[in-house]
Amino acid sequence: DAKTTQPTSMDCAEGRAANLPCNHSTISGNEYVYWYRQIHSQGPQYIIHGLKNNETNEMASLIITEDRKSSTLILPHATLRDTAVYYCIAVPMNTGFQKLVFGTGTRLLVSP
């Protein structure tokens, strides 16, 4: 079962910041928080990941609370092409590659 819970859907106006929350209150100390998104009928696309510290890349920013029980993905200036399902996933930091367990994700709709 997925260790994360996310709102089912969110709306955002084009040009505004989209803040997508994720609850992972049972996450272990050795688990990263990964974010992926899936545009309709395509494979998931990696966005960002983090362990404790906040992270930023060219796509988004990831804010992780100090207790690591929740995080927020921020798309600073949402565009219509950001309409997708966003998945927050807890991934163990063990050696070897761990399988990703996808939850239901958040369906983000960016409108003009």
Partner 1 sequence: GAVVSQHPSWVICKSGTSVKIECRSLDFQATTMFWYRQFPKQSLMLMATSNEGSKATYEQGVEKDKFLINHASLTLSTLTVTSAHPEDSSFYICSASSITVYGYTFGSGTRLTVV
5-24 mask for partner 1 (x: CB under 8 A)? --------------------
CB–CB of 13/108 below 8 Å? Answer: no
Q: State which residue, 81 or 99, has the beta carbon closest to partner 1.
A: 99
Q: State which residue, 12 or 44, has the beta carbon closest to partner 1.
A: 44
Q: How many residues bind partner 1 (CB under 8 A)?
A: 20
Rule CB under 8 A: say whether 25 interacts with partner 1. Answer: no
Strand order in the sheet with 9-13: 9-13, 106-111, 84-92, 31-38, 45-50
Tokens of 80: 């219509």
How is residue 26 annotated by DSSP?
A: T
Interface positions, 62-101, toward partner 1 (CB under 8 A): 87, 96-97, 99-101
